[in-house]
Structure 1
Amino acid sequence: GFIAFLILWTFGNVWLLTRNAFDPYPFIFLNLVLSMVAALQAPVIMMSQNRQTERDRIDAAHDYEVNLKAEIEIMALHEKLDELRHSEIIGLRDE
């Protein structure tokens, strides 16, 4: 919608209203409007980024906990495999 507004603005001022254009070619009024829109959008964008950062921190903490549990389980599996190998070696040696 916003791009359509910009196209209509420029089309209306350059081609349709060549003699009585309310905002001639350098489009100073359009620049003022765009600057005001940017000034209004900037704080909203910053607030949404801060909220997203908080969510990312929570997700990162959760990922860390899951990875830590997985690492503990893998270490337990390694210990079990080591015990099995050790018992097999002792069983082979005793035969």
Structure 2
Amino acid sequence: MENNKTWHEQHESSCSFGDHLADKVTNIMGSWRFIIIQTAIILVWAGINLTAYLLHWDPYPFILLNLVFSIQSAYAAPIIMMAQNRQSARDRVQANDDYMTNLESKREIEELQVGLKRLESEKLDTIIAMLQDIRKDRSYVTE
């Protein structure tokens, strides 16, 4: 049953919960949606802290916001690297599978070429035999 699976199915079945989580986090953080939402949060954060008269939880230069981004980066970078490593592993498996498929295709093409050459030789031998028979028949007629 394992051999009937595609490389992608084999890879997905071998992934742990952490692998899937790293992929999901990377997919989210690598999207325009995430960038737009994060930009909106930054603008709201800065806007509230610059204009608020009473509640400045993070006054300019936004040290708390900087801390939040530092924590986000500290976790995001290794998660993204895990996902990249898994992508590299997937690419290696796929490349190996493609290579094996190409080798099999090459072998089949070579077998077809040998078969076609054999058929061509047989046809040429048949044509030569037919021409020799025609020559023999003509030589009897001209005598």
Structure 1-normalised TM-score?
Answer: 0.80
Percent identity among equivalent residues? Answer: 39
Consecutive unaligned residues in structure 2, runs of 5 or more: 1-36, 131-143
Alignment match, 1:90 = 125
1:25-64 pair list within 5 angstroms:
25-64=60-99
Shift of residue 44, structure 1, vs aligned partner:
1.2
CA RMSD, 1 decimal: 2.0
Cα separation, 1, equivalents of 2:116 and 2:61: 76
Partner residue of 2:41?
Answer: 5
SS in 2 for 1:22: coil
In the superposition, the TM-score normalised over structure 2's length comes to: 0.57
Runs of 5+ consecutive residues of structure 1 not aligned to the other structure: none
If asked which structure has higher relative contact order (CA below 8 Å, sep 6+), I would say: 2
Distance 1:90 1:26 in 2: 92
Equivalent position of 1:73 in the other structure = 108
| Residues paired across the two proteins, number | 94
Q: Aligned runs of 1:7-22 on 2, under 5 Å?
A: 7-15=43-51, 17=52, 20-22=55-57
Instruction: Give the 4+ runs in structure 1 shifted more than 2 A.
Output: 1-8, 18-29
Amino acid at match of 2:111: A
State which structure, 1 or 2, has the greater radius of gyration over its C-alpha atoms: 2
AA aligned to 1:74 is I
Question: Whole-Å Cα distance in 1 between the matches of residues 71 and 44 of structure 2?
Answer: 19
